[in-house]
Structure 1
Amino acid sequence: MGALFLTRDDGSPAAARLHARLERSFRRQGFGAGRSATHNSHRITCFAPLSGGVPLVHADNAGNVIAIAGTVFYRSRHGRDALAPLLADLVADRLNEPALWGSFAVVAGIRGAVRVLTDRCGTFHLFRSETPAVVSSSFLAVADALDSPAVDADGVRDYVFHGAAHGGLTVLRDVRLLDSLRAWTFHDDGRVSGRPRPMPLPEQTADATTPEAAAERCLAVLDDRFDALARLGGAGLDTALSGGYDSRLILAMLRRHGTIPDLHVYGPEASDDVRIAKAVCAAEGLALAHVDKAGRPLPDPDIYAAVVSATLEAFDGTPNDGVFDSGADLETRLARCHDGRLALNGGGGEVFRNFFYLPDRPVSPLAMQQVFWSQYDPAAAAPGFDARGYARRFAARLAADVGRGGDAGTVRRPLPRPVVEAVYPLTRCRWWMGRNASVNNRLGAAVTPFVDAEILATTLPVPLRLKNHGRLQAAMIARADPALARHPSAYGHAFDAPPPTRRVLSDWATFVRPPAVRARTFRLKRQPPVPPPSLAPERVARVLGGPPEYMPRFFRLDRLCEPGQLNRAMTLELLFRRLNAAA
């Protein structure tokens, strides 16, 4: 939770001006006063979360210092209680990686250098620029530090088409993400080095004969994590309950460890998620808060621009869904973490399932791009867009995510099937879900417990036949909490029985569809003929102060009809105007 930045501090006026510039950016984003610590030639500044609290900073008697942004657990300790033991182990060079988890960034000044690391799965993002030399949990802060921010075309396309820039890119050329799979050292002489951190990428599947046997192995790792969460108490936790697997598993694990969190569900009254969540809670005697965010009325046009701009600042410029809404998204996220509560998110639970609905055989990075990252119409891009070149570059970044290089030949080379499974956590979760988790941690404590390197070590090798049709995750729910498993789901069946034939046949209809065919599916979908009220041209024009200027260079806005993509495009239009970016 909270935020931080790291700069060099040589005592010069230029260093002081840079520090002041960054602090102004954080104030504009809504943060209070930061707490700074100088370590040799570096300065670390940490901020409390937007929902309130204190910065997480600690110094030992030898002059070593540690600052944390995000939500960290170490050796079963959480937050402030984890600072001293974590710093001591870093100083002694005995970091216990399996015992370090959550969604966080650690910046520690130790002897003659500053060490920087995040959670290994990258669910907390750190941004970096080289000129000036800045590392920060805030994209907006690094962007504000640049004298001449320049737009990155592929970063823009990634964000608009896929909800987040991928492969370490951002929407600006001079801002990149630090690789979470390396532990970074910023030396006093200005050098920056990084060493690899352990991350399981199995080439072979494990020996598991039944979903129940695999479930026991997975639950053993989850038990360690949820025991630590349960110690915070039910009043200190908030999580969703929907009609799917992931939220049901979170609730099952918490009840298995003797605690009941605050529960909420989002969506219209008649939606499957709301209907099923209410039925489960009524049967189990659980309280449930229901909020229909999409049903909230839009603010008066006279104040809409202020609401949208406040969301842009609080959500750090590039949230997954864009910023043009009623303000309900920011309001509900803040509500989840008020009074120091920790907001749990079931995102990433698909590691226990066949997320991409692919058959059990090797798949190339380019085919993976076709399967999942082709949910856009190339005709919506501006003239001159090289659709094939963009797809190849994206596939090369995907290959690099799973340690397979990033050259042109790599994109057509099939990945072993267990490595294909790793694409979900190391590409989808790291870049897309990591952006969302990072935003949540600006507001307060938040964690996605299923995206965890130790959990991946157990789940990635599970034979695909046990993951298909949700069999593994259903078995986990049934073993963790048989009562919860007995209730219906949005999949048309309860989780304590085998998936029905209709579910199996429906899944196989996707399994057998070739990647090239799946790549064209989006173009066949009927899009809304007019934008939603939040994106009505007259409303957007009042927010922007005129018609779009940046986005027509990348997109044909009359063809960009999918509401999420249009929202993100207008979000970038507002962002680039705020930064006075060069296209």
Structure 2
Amino acid sequence: MLNALSVFLVGGDSDGQTRAARSLERQRFIRATQIEWNGGSVVAWGHPEQRRVEDCVVQSPLGAACCVGPLWFRGYFGRQALASLLDEVRATGRLEEGSLRGNFALFLDTGEQTWLLNDALGFIRIYTSADGCFFSTSWLAVCAYGQRVEPDAASAIEYVLLGAAHSCQSVARGVDLLPLGRVQDFRRRSTWQRFPRGFEVQAPEFHSLDEAVEAITGHLRTTSSEVASAFPGRVNAALSGGFDSRLIVAGLLDAGVRPRLFVYGDADSADVAAARTVAAAADLALEAIDKRAMNRGFPMPDIEALEQSALFFDGLPSDGIDDPGADRHTRLQQTADGRIALNGGGGEIFRNFFHLPNRAFAARDIVRTFYRGFSRSVFRDPDGLASYEARLAASMRNIVGMSEVGSERLSREQVELLYPLFRCHYWMGLNNSVAVRHGNYATPLVDLESVRLALRVPLRWKNAGALESRLVAALHLAVAAQPSTYGFRFDAGPGWKARLAEWTTCARPARLRPLINATRRSLQNMRIAPAVWQRYRALLPGEWRMDSLLDLIQLTDERALGRALAVEVVWRRLL
């Protein structure tokens, strides 16, 4: 497979192109192929360990296409999918979105159209340079193209506090993301909207839960069958004690796939215990991986090791770069030998993700509900919290196609859309983008069709996991009949205790949730271990770039401090 793309347009900075190429080589990518057209060139990059890069490239006198990440079109995969897509776009001049699936970045040139785009939900990121002449799936490469880029303060704050910047502006000023649902049209030197009517659906709500289950499982059967056909005997799937990974495994078994399973946690983990019972019921092999124990076998990272970690993760991953080795090792392990690793991320489209009642909300309510897991005192600027909330709220309204009117309220459907279009697009998309840099990886539960199907499900059926329980049971009853970490079996569905817990959570007013979070942090005495703080500061003495924006000592999450470390390592050592 291919692991990275870079596109250079005529009129761009040739020295910047050279710097970007050096950055990609420093990230251990090698040139797999280069495609030229009269407006520029695209270089496809792979890893020495990856095989069969030709499956991701099609070139002929009539056009060319290549992709990073797994792509299916009309049931075809890889080279067949690209060839079919190229022929159809050449004949019709348009994309058939409903037949396009996977997590990918795609370059396509028919001779009349020259496009760069990603999957409908933007789970494989495409970054753009400030001059509009360079594009890449690597953030570090676009930063190198621009040379001497500075941090964008607001985006850097969001990255440290939340694990990702939640707008089209990346942490580097002038390095932006291709906006959700847009195509970069190189012939026109502009972008156009693939979904002019947005992601909302015109179809009515399902009349019954049975109807909803039948429609959604039908789609999941299609996606599972496509995986089975593309990766016969080469499917790895994460498994835990929750809904989403169980739904993935049930779908694979229904399609006749016997995946190799893995679960993360120590011997006493509830996830490991639940995964073992599921694997035993399905007679599947399961590997339990204790990352903490694994990391004890690696030396503590010094500054050079942190630099290598940053190169592996494209600079700023969601969990930071302080990885002794377990994270990198397991990522490579799960996609070795041409296997695909499947993850249940995004499956919460089938549940009430924000745990909010069935009514309209202001965007700022969503910010306070889910994006306020820290003290207001962490901001150096007295107006920092207000600016942070206003920026996130504006980004939410923008992503669902609303105006910038602060008093305008999100409909319940728009609140539901915020999970795939906002939470998954910005946060989960960052992890997916890192994953495909090193192998085939996909989150098949959430795509354009599954989002539209989920929007047709009344919220009352999603609460407490009622719908998703039914989905698991409909696909594989034996898997559904095993215990979960939610306190009930999915074949039985949520009982009164689970429903009461859901109702109690939903009843909490949005304006009080930051106070509830603060009380929880105080009662649990959440703080960063002094040894972690001291080690980080000893590695990188002096003032950090985030010190002027955030009072890092106020952070209570070691991963947040690790992300501040990532910013510092990237700017001191790589940029």
Same fold (TM over 0.5): yes
Q: Is the counterpart of residue 151 in structure 1 residue 151 in structure 2?
A: yes
Where does structure 2 lack aligned partners over 5 or more consecutive residues? Answer: none
TM-score w.r.t. the length of structure 1 is 0.93
Q: Is the counterpart of residue 537 in structure 1 residue 537 in structure 2?
A: no
**Which of 532, 541, 554 does residue 559 from structure 1 map onto?**
554
Query: Do the aligned residues in 2 keep the contact of 1:2 with 1:50 (CA within 8 Å)?
Result: no
SS at match of 1:67: strand
Deviates more, 1:74-83 or 1:434-443: 74-83
Deviations 1:81-128 (A, max 9, x none): 322112112222143211111111111233255211111111111000
Q: Is the counterpart of residue 70 in structure 1 residue 69 in structure 2?
A: yes
Query: Do the aligned residues in 1 keep the contact of 2:34 with 2:42 (CA within 8 Å)?
Result: yes
Q: Is the counterpart of residue 5 in structure 1 residue 6 in structure 2?
A: yes
Q: What is the deviation of 1:233?
A: 4.5
Within a 5 Å distance, the mapping from 1:309-320 to structure 2 comes to: 309-320=307-318
Within a 5 Å distance, the mapping from 1:370-449 to structure 2 comes to: 370-405=368-403, 407=404, 409=405, 411-449=406-444
Query: Do the aligned residues in 1 keep the contact of 2:16 with 2:146 (CA within 8 Å)?
Result: no
Paired positions, count: 567
Query: Do the aligned residues in 1 keep the contact of 2:307 with 2:574 (CA within 8 Å)?
Result: no
Within a 5 Å distance, the mapping from 1:245-284 to structure 2 comes to: 245-284=243-282
Where does structure 1 lack aligned partners over 5 or more consecutive residues? Answer: none
Deviations 1:384-430 (A, max 9, x none): 4421122011101011111113x2x2x43221112211110000000
Query: Do the aligned residues in 1 keep the contact of 2:16 with 2:147 (CA within 8 Å)?
Result: no
Within a 5 Å distance, the mapping from 1:164-563 to structure 2 comes to: 164-187=164-187, 191-197=189-195, 199-202=198-201, 206-210=205-209, 212-233=210-231, 235-298=233-296, 304-405=302-403, 407=404, 409=405, 411-524=406-519, 525=521, 526-531=524-529, 535-538=532-535, 540-541=536-537, 543-544=539-540, 546-563=541-558
Q: What is the deviation of 1:209?
A: 2.5
The CA distance in 2 between the partners of 1:233 and 1:90, in whole Å, is 26
The CA distance in 2 between the partners of 1:289 and 1:454, in whole Å, is 32
SS at match of 2:410: coil
SS at match of 2:57: strand
Q: What is the deviation of 1:222?
A: 1.4
The CA distance in 1 between the partners of 2:132 and 2:400, in whole Å, is 30
The CA distance in 2 between the partners of 1:139 and 1:258, in whole Å, is 38
The CA distance in 2 between the partners of 1:498 and 1:128, in whole Å, is 46
Within a 5 Å distance, the mapping from 1:127-138 to structure 2 comes to: 127-131=127-131, 133-138=133-138
SS at match of 2:317: coil
The CA distance in 2 between the partners of 1:297 and 1:67, in whole Å, is 37
The CA distance in 2 between the partners of 1:290 and 1:426, in whole Å, is 32
The CA distance in 2 between the partners of 1:242 and 1:565, in whole Å, is 24
Q: Is the counterpart of residue 84 in structure 1 residue 83 in structure 2?
A: yes
The CA distance in 2 between the partners of 1:343 and 1:381, in whole Å, is 38
Deviations 1:246-282 (A, max 9, x none): 0110000000010111100001211110111112222
Query: Do the aligned residues in 1 keep the contact of 2:259 with 2:284 (CA within 8 Å)?
Result: no
Query: Do the aligned residues in 2 keep the contact of 1:245 with 1:474 (CA within 8 Å)?
Result: yes
The CA distance in 2 between the partners of 1:334 and 1:144, in whole Å, is 26
The CA distance in 2 between the partners of 1:20 and 1:543, in whole Å, is 31
Q: 1:312 to 1:34 in 2, by over 3 A?
A: same
Q: 1:295 to 1:114 in 2, by over 3 A?
A: same
The CA distance in 2 between the partners of 1:132 and 1:94, in whole Å, is 24
Partner amino acid, structure 2, of 1:537: Q
SS at match of 1:193: strand
Query: Do the aligned residues in 2 keep the contact of 1:119 with 1:180 (CA within 8 Å)?
Result: no
Partner amino acid, structure 2, of 1:22: A
Q: What is the deviation of 1:49?
A: 4.5
Query: Do the aligned residues in 1 keep the contact of 2:263 with 2:271 (CA within 8 Å)?
Result: yes
The CA distance in 2 between the partners of 1:553 and 1:50, in whole Å, is 41
The CA distance in 2 between the partners of 1:132 and 1:111, in whole Å, is 21
- The aligned counterpart of 1:37 is 35
The CA distance in 2 between the partners of 1:75 and 1:532, in whole Å, is 54
Query: Do the aligned residues in 1 keep the contact of 2:301 with 2:322 (CA within 8 Å)?
Result: no
Deviations 1:512-557 (A, max 9, x none): 0000111233322135444386x3522x24543x244212111112
RMSD, aligned α-carbons? 2.0
Query: Do the aligned residues in 2 keep the contact of 1:50 with 1:444 (CA within 8 Å)?
Result: no
The CA distance in 1 between the partners of 2:526 and 2:383, in whole Å, is 24
The CA distance in 1 between the partners of 2:318 and 2:572, in whole Å, is 19
The CA distance in 1 between the partners of 2:202 and 2:518, in whole Å, is 35
Query: Do the aligned residues in 2 keep the contact of 1:205 with 1:418 (CA within 8 Å)?
Result: no
Query: Do the aligned residues in 2 keep the contact of 1:532 with 1:563 (CA within 8 Å)?
Result: no
The CA distance in 1 between the partners of 2:300 and 2:94, in whole Å, is 57
SS at match of 1:183: strand
The CA distance in 2 between the partners of 1:51 and 1:431, in whole Å, is 29
Q: What is the deviation of 1:336?
A: 0.5
Q: What is the deviation of 1:179?
A: 1.4
SS at match of 1:412: coil
Query: Do the aligned residues in 2 keep the contact of 1:161 with 1:565 (CA within 8 Å)?
Result: yes
Q: What is the deviation of 1:228?
A: 0.5
Partner amino acid, structure 2, of 1:577: R
- The aligned counterpart of 1:22 is 20
Deviations 1:128-177 (A, max 9, x none): 01326211100000011113302111101111111101121210120110
Partner amino acid, structure 2, of 1:129: S
SS at match of 1:354: coil
Q: What is the deviation of 1:39?
A: 0.6
Q: What is the deviation of 1:472?
A: 0.5
- The aligned counterpart of 1:124 is 124
Q: 1:273 to 1:20 in 2, by over 3 A?
A: same
SS at match of 2:490: coil
Query: Do the aligned residues in 2 keep the contact of 1:308 with 1:327 (CA within 8 Å)?
Result: no
The CA distance in 2 between the partners of 1:227 and 1:301, in whole Å, is 42
The CA distance in 1 between the partners of 2:395 and 2:470, in whole Å, is 34
Partner amino acid, structure 2, of 1:373: Y
Query: Do the aligned residues in 2 keep the contact of 1:440 with 1:446 (CA within 8 Å)?
Result: yes
The CA distance in 2 between the partners of 1:108 and 1:465, in whole Å, is 42
Deviations 1:314-361 (A, max 9, x none): 111111111112211111011010111111110000011111111111
Deviates more, 1:24-33 or 1:422-431: 24-33
The CA distance in 2 between the partners of 1:506 and 1:49, in whole Å, is 47
Q: 1:559 to 1:394 in 2, by over 3 A?
A: same
Q: 1:504 to 1:19 in 2, by over 3 A?
A: same
Query: Do the aligned residues in 1 keep the contact of 2:301 with 2:324 (CA within 8 Å)?
Result: no
